[in-house]
Chains A and B, each alone.
Chain A
Amino acid sequence: DTAVSQTPKYLVTQMGNDKSIKCEQNLGHDTMYWYKQDSKKFLKIMFSYNNKELIINETVPNRFSPKSPDKAHLNLHINSLELGDSAVYFCASSQVRGNTEAFFGQGTRLTVV
């Protein structure tokens, strides 16, 4: 069983569209994250969600919105996609704040054309 799974793995879409990326973890973790990896491989936190507490990176445009229907899922919805949104997006989860490692999904490569 995959611990953290993301769908889709690849997503190609036109500017202006709205899209969602789904993430599910079967590890029973309390905390989930979304990271964006840019073309230089840098991974930057976008959101952290822990027991209904949402922490937002203030540099993330409000076109991006996380949605968590339950503890095992943290989906990422993106409105009005722009060329600069093209990147690889990683979902992750961890058990205890700061003490244990985060487990990562395989990533979603988003290409906006």
Chain B
Amino acid sequence: AQSVTQLDSHVSVSEGTPVLLRCNYSSSYSPSLFWYVQHPNKGLQLLLKYTSAATLVKGINGFEAEFKKSETSFHLTKPSAHMSDAAEYFCVVSASGGSYIPTFGRGTSLIVHP
């Protein structure tokens, strides 16, 4: 079985300050992990992915995430938030050998204040 827990349903930051969106996963197999972003009334765009290579993964728009097996975490960070980062963010797990179907966390809404 696999699951994802996004620890915050909402995160509010000021423009120019760091962003941290937290994600913990559970998987019986070696997982692949992804972060997707969904802007209002839009589809889902891949930000970055971890598939058993480097544990620190860099994505688009200045985002990065670190895979920590010991903590079963895959937190998303960005050094400086921009107004355009305001969106819904989803952490996703899938695993070969187990349920390969991408399983979503419940999402974190990122609010960016001017």
Contacts and interface: CB of A to CB of B under 8 A. Distances in A.
A76 interface: no
B101 A43 contact: no
Given A97-B96, A98-B100, A101-B34, A42 B107 contact: yes
A4 to B, nearest CB: 9
A98 B90 contact: no
Interface string B9-35: 000000000000000000001001010
Interface residues of A, number: 26
Interface in A55-109: 55, 90, 92, 94, 96-107
A45 B101 contact: yes
Interface string B27-49: 00100101010100011101001
A105 B102 contact: no
Contacts of A106: 42-43
A106 B42 CA distance: 6
Contact of B107 (A41, A48, A101): A41
Contacts of B104: 35, 42-44
Interface of A: 31, 33, 35, 40-45, 48, 55, 90, 92, 94, 96-107
Interface of B: 29, 32, 34, 36, 38, 42-44, 46, 49, 51, 88, 90, 92, 94-98, 100-104, 106-107, 109
Pick the 7 closest A-B CB pairs, nearest first.
A97-B100, A98-B100, A98-B96, A106-B43, A104-B44, A43-B104, A98-B94
